Structure 1
Amino acid sequence: MTPNQEPTATSPPPTAKNRDLLRFAALVGALLLLNFVAQRFFFRLDLTEEKRYTMSPATKKLLGQLKEPVSVTVYLTGDFPPAFRRLEQAVRENLTEMQIYGGANFSYVFLDPSAAGTEAGRNQFYQTLLKKGLRPTNLGSNENGKRVEKLVFPWAVVQGPGGQTRNVLLLRGNQAVSPEQRLNQSIEGLEYELVSAVRQVSPASGGRPRLGIIDGHGELPNIELADILTAWSQSYDVFRVDLSKVPDLRGNLSAVVIAKPTRPYSEEDKFKLDQFITHGGRALFFVDALRTDLDSVSRNGAALATPYNLNLDDLFFRYGVRLNPNLLLDLNSGQIPLVTGMEGNKPKIEPLPWQLYPLINRFNPTSPITRNLDAVIMRFVGNIDTVKALGVRKTSLLTTSRYTRVLPAPVPINFNDARLEPNPKNYQNPFQPVGYLLEGQFRSLFSNRARPGTTQYQPDQDPTAKPGKLLVISDGDFLRNDVDTRANPPRPLRLGYDRLASTEFANRELILNATDYLLDDTGLIAVRGKQITLRPLDKVQLAERRSFWQALNLGAPLALLALFGLGRAWWRKRRYARF
């Protein structure tokens, strides 16, 4: 540079401090941009193997179409053991997901029934819940070495427009499995139970399905169907239909129910039923193969079960099943009350096992109709065989236990047999099917025949007919509720309620699941097939290495934090040493 030349100005090199400030500003800007994008583009990632936090498309669609507000009040909250806290957390997670898709029209709240400050206040709130039909569960736990009993209300109440409410039992599952497995089954069914109740309280678009209860053949009266009729009416329009008074079932009904007929079907009535089914109709058959007169048993001490003549055997055979004329005895059974002696001048009545009342606890584990279902009770049931039927898929839903006996008709029945100790060696016919689901294109029984009473020729098969669905259960009493005749007027009891055992079997739930499966075109019933794998810890290893894992959980975070601090101090010293 010459003496007369002016020095040129150069920008100083950026310092490390300036570089850190620029990086911090860029990070803040990126976070703001990401937050802006996230507010306008909604997405969620579920990295679990079973996609346990992912709502089904049917659930998302239903919640997205809510036109009026729906609220959920959950009473399952409070100071619980870890297992019940897991169920509570699962309920909260499901409702949070549902709120995302339901938007402003979906809300929920958790209330602790035991939160009242005084015992009188708690009891008053408990009575309010009991009046709503919310039955508590007695939960035992150990606190400070003492056994403590707590009342838990595992319920949610879904309220929709117009004050319509539906009670949702959150603790379900099969009572025959371990408590951990039952809780897991309850968690698997939460989405379906909640969204099903939301659907019931929401105004239906396009009208509700119409369910016809076939009449005119000695079917069960309304008082013995009262509980299931009430349950059906929450989701469907229910009618009694006399086949002799209607020209055709097609176009008027979505499904029909045949509830324990005792008189034969005429050919004309059978033709109407056949045409409904083969043109895409849905039907639920609860039919006995043998006639059992309990009144004659109670009067004379014995009776004879003989085959019915319902004129339906050829119809079932055409569709792919055969109801065999026999009765099943199962060592896994319900009870009947019998006089076993005298107490002073009064008879002594005790409940005794009655093998003709099988308790069914073996279900198809993959079908949404029976998945995670509790035991059901049956009365005087026979087994079902399948026969060849092209285009029809047959799914066995219910089977008896390993210790089953088959008695072909005629079968003598005597209540005094309950006093005898059964011999397990006689029960060598295990796993007898008593319920089937049939799906597919059913061929008409009247193909290439004239319609009964006319010369009108029926074609072989309608090419435009839709596939149909049938449920066939070989027990006409399966959907019959008991009636308290001592009440005035007589009062129907809940379906599946056993007064002797003071327990409620899952007959009602199975029928409702089956009806939903047959009539639900949205795919919502498939949510019941959701499966969450239970991954329990090894309790033996956990007990043996308890101290090691406690020390690891306590010391590992502190050690990692110390290593991070030392590493960061070394890095800063090396980086800024030259300054």
Structure 2
Amino acid sequence: MKKLMYSSAGLLLIALAFLAFNLFSSLSLSGARLDLTEQKLYTISAGTEQILAELEQPIELDFFFSDTTAKDLPALRNYAKRVEEMLKAYQRAADGKIQLRIIDPAPFSEDEDKAAEFGLQGIPLQQGGDQLYLGLAGKNAQGDTQVIPFFALDQEEFLEYELSRLVQSLAKPERPVVGVLSGLPINGGFDMQARQPTPPWMVMEEIRQLFKIESLKADIDLIPEQVSVLLLIHPKQLPEQTLYAIDQFVLRGGKLLAFVDPFSEADTQAGMPGEMAIDKSSSLTPLFKAWGLRMVPDKVLGDGSYAMSVSMGQGQRAVRHAAWLSLPKNALDQDDISTAALENLTVATAGILEPLEGAKTRFIPLLQSSQYAMPFDAKRFGLLQNPEELIRELQPTGERYAIAARISGPAQSAYPDGIEGRKDGLKQADSINVIAVADTDLLTDRMWVQVQDFFGQRIPQPWADNAAFAINALDNLSGSDALISVRSRGRFTRPFEVVEAIQRDAEVRFREKEQALQARLADTEQKLAALQRSDDPSKALELTPEQQATVRQFLQEKVKIRKELREVRYQLNADIEALGRSLKFANIALVPLLLTLGVLALWLWRRRQQS
């Protein structure tokens, strides 16, 4: 046998066996993949698999990437490769229902015209240069199209969600129906003080462009079947039959976006003379309790860090309002599709949401305060004259409070025994999908947009992302449970966390010394310039021997300081370079040495066994 292995015929047989194995694997194992990335970046989720399994008709996907044009952009090429690999994974999982084409649209070609016709976004690499495309166009059997104009690198963690959303939109192209039940004049009303009608809220105009709207009455006892998302805005004092209808809608799989409020400044209903001030609060207390959360009663959130500056009137200075908050990016959940791409939101006299102890549902905060926050009594805002009082009274608790949250998971009915005349309802659900927001004022025009009238057309100019948040939430909830389950994934490009930590430590150690040297250098240069300055520019500058000696001294000091400064800046990267040398040694020398020693040890052990 050994002779055969070492003979020419044996080597030929080994080579043929190797070629046969490669041929067999290329034909029969071409779809096999092993994803060893920590966050399974190349493995589609169970939600996506469900969406693909439910495809009834074929879908065409055209992936446009300017591969030739982007030859000098390695980061973009790597990301495009990831998109392509993910699309091929979709194609394999769809079992023939997805037809994928990879297109490199050369400049001035028919493929480039096709990309432009689809509405894909071409990015010019330079002034007057070629256009670079990195987008996707999809078409279903009916000819409906959906596109992703450009795959932005900073949104790569939502790649799978965007692809699954496009596929599902092509599989079910009809616009989702949003049922709207509101206690505020969101569709316009009449201003009693100005004695003129008020226009619809701009947020509703934005929503109507993307969804079918079905208005619901406050005493409704059954949410229509065609409603896929229920939008509640200031559900104030709803009758039991309506609460039960909402309860049953959520339990049977309907999605809910609810805006409640402990003190809605948009609630301007006038009371009768002699009556007490109207109650401006709204809640879904029995439903929230059944779903494992609550809005803290009669409390308004104050925050010293995110407090907005508000005008006290013409000619008066602006003051900070601790209950009117401008929430920056770090106050928004960066892992949720409804908030991740937003920059800032504004809220006014918002409430506080918190999970109940022992709840089976999952409570995920979407909007949060800073640590410099505390609850205020809601009653005082009815008579508040000077918002500066709130800042003076603010005593931060050190806790971050939730203003909005996503609730999901198993839930019980708030009415397990039903209500009068209706005893046969659902008692529980394995999974519910609800987004609750403890503020209604964020939807009003004054909190996020300036509206200009242009020849009778209302043109919005948003300055905050409030409407985008509402639309994102509705868009996410209007998808299937499978799509909602496709959350953000890990990033393809991973940061060098150890290197970044070393860099931060080095900066802490050396930045103070660098600043001191910079100050000394600036002072030396200033003194040197003063000595070399002439009062009469027409005359040559004449220096005494003492002044010349001082100039030479300052020049030497300047060279010395610059040398020290270069040394400090070198030290900033010294630890990183040392780490790099250690890694190179480990990869180039240490690992091969260990393998060699291991092989030698195995060889010696076998020799001893044979002897």
> Which range, TM-score by smaller chain?
0.5 to 0.7
Please say if residues 66 and 104 of structure 2, whose CA atoms lie closer than 8 Å, have aligned partners that are also in contact: yes
Give the % identical residues: 17
Cross-structure match for 1:78: 70
The answer on 1:258 being equivalent to 2:232 is yes
Cross-structure match for 2:216: 241
CA offset digits 1:104-141 (Å, max 9, x no partner): 622343559xx789xxxxxx99xx79x969697999xx
2:396 to 427, 432, 442: 427
Between the aligned partners of 2:339 and 2:321, the Cα distance in structure 1 is: 27
Cross-structure match for 2:205: 226
The answer on 1:212 being equivalent to 2:184 is no
> What amino acid is the match of 1:333?
Y
Structure 2 unpaired stretches of 5+: 188-199, 270-275, 504-572, 597-611
Between the aligned partners of 2:453 and 2:319, the Cα distance in structure 1 is: 20
> What amino acid is the match of 2:372?
Y
2:89 to 78, 92, 97: 97
CA gap 1:305/1:285 in 2 versus in 1, 3 angstroms: farther
Between the aligned partners of 1:27 and 1:101, the Cα distance in structure 2 is: 30
2:156 to 177, 184, 187: 187
Between the aligned partners of 2:304 and 2:72, the Cα distance in structure 1 is: 37
> What amino acid is the match of 1:520?
S
CA offset digits 1:217-262 (Å, max 9, x no partner): 644546432223434x3xxx54222354x5522644333110245x
Please say if residues 95 and 108 of structure 1, whose CA atoms lie closer than 8 Å, have aligned partners that are also in contact: no
Q: CA deviation at 1:431?
A: 0.6
CA offset digits 1:389-424 (Å, max 9, x no partner): 876554444321111132212344899968999569
Please say if residues 168 and 197 of structure 1, whose CA atoms lie closer than 8 Å, have aligned partners that are also in contact: no
Cross-structure match for 1:408: 377
CA gap 1:107/1:331 in 2 versus in 1, 3 angstroms: farther
Cross-structure match for 1:47: 36
Cross-structure match for 1:444: 414
1:528 to 487, 490, 493: 487
Between the aligned partners of 2:159 and 2:435, the Cα distance in structure 1 is: 25
Say which SS state the counterpart of residue 152 (structure 2) adopts: coil
CA gap 1:307/1:368 in 2 versus in 1, 3 angstroms: same
CA gap 1:375/1:253 in 2 versus in 1, 3 angstroms: same
Cross-structure match for 2:135: 156
Say which SS state the counterpart of residue 230 (structure 2) adopts: strand
The answer on 1:544 being equivalent to 2:517 is no
1:308 to 255, 258, 280: 280
Q: CA RMSD in A?
A: 5.3
CA offset digits 1:279-330 (Å, max 9, x no partner): 554322112221315999xxxxxxx997425474455445542353333232
> What amino acid is the match of 1:160?
K
CA gap 1:323/1:461 in 2 versus in 1, 3 angstroms: farther
Cross-structure match for 2:345: 377
Please say if residues 321 and 390 of structure 2, whose CA atoms lie closer than 8 Å, have aligned partners that are also in contact: no
Please say if residues 279 and 466 of structure 1, whose CA atoms lie closer than 8 Å, have aligned partners that are also in contact: no
Please say if residues 219 and 258 of structure 1, whose CA atoms lie closer than 8 Å, have aligned partners that are also in contact: no
Between the aligned partners of 1:399 and 1:364, the Cα distance in structure 2 is: 8
Between the aligned partners of 2:383 and 2:125, the Cα distance in structure 1 is: 39
2:463 to 485, 494, 498: 498
Cross-structure match for 1:570: none
Cross-structure match for 1:321: 294
CA gap 1:375/1:229 in 2 versus in 1, 3 angstroms: same
Q: CA deviation at 1:44?
A: 1.5
> What amino acid is the match of 1:498?
W
Please say if residues 286 and 477 of structure 1, whose CA atoms lie closer than 8 Å, have aligned partners that are also in contact: no
Between the aligned partners of 2:305 and 2:249, the Cα distance in structure 1 is: 38
Between the aligned partners of 2:321 and 2:72, the Cα distance in structure 1 is: 37
Q: CA deviation at 1:159?
A: 3.3
Q: Normalised by the size of structure 1, how large is the TM-score?
A: 0.64
Between the aligned partners of 1:269 and 1:62, the Cα distance in structure 2 is: 33
Between the aligned partners of 1:111 and 1:417, the Cα distance in structure 2 is: 61
Alignment of 1:449-464 (within 5 A): 450=420, 456=421, 458-459=422-423, 462-463=426-427
Say which SS state the counterpart of residue 166 (structure 1) adopts: strand
CA gap 1:294/1:108 in 2 versus in 1, 3 angstroms: farther
Structure 1 unpaired stretches of 5+: 1-12, 118-123, 140-147, 173-182, 297-303, 451-455, 564-579
Please say if residues 363 and 370 of structure 1, whose CA atoms lie closer than 8 Å, have aligned partners that are also in contact: no
Between the aligned partners of 2:228 and 2:50, the Cα distance in structure 1 is: 22
How many residues get paired? 479
Please say if residues 476 and 484 of structure 2, whose CA atoms lie closer than 8 Å, have aligned partners that are also in contact: no
Between the aligned partners of 1:547 and 1:50, the Cα distance in structure 2 is: 26
> What amino acid is the match of 2:480?
D
Between the aligned partners of 2:216 and 2:430, the Cα distance in structure 1 is: 23
Q: CA deviation at 1:359?
A: 0.3
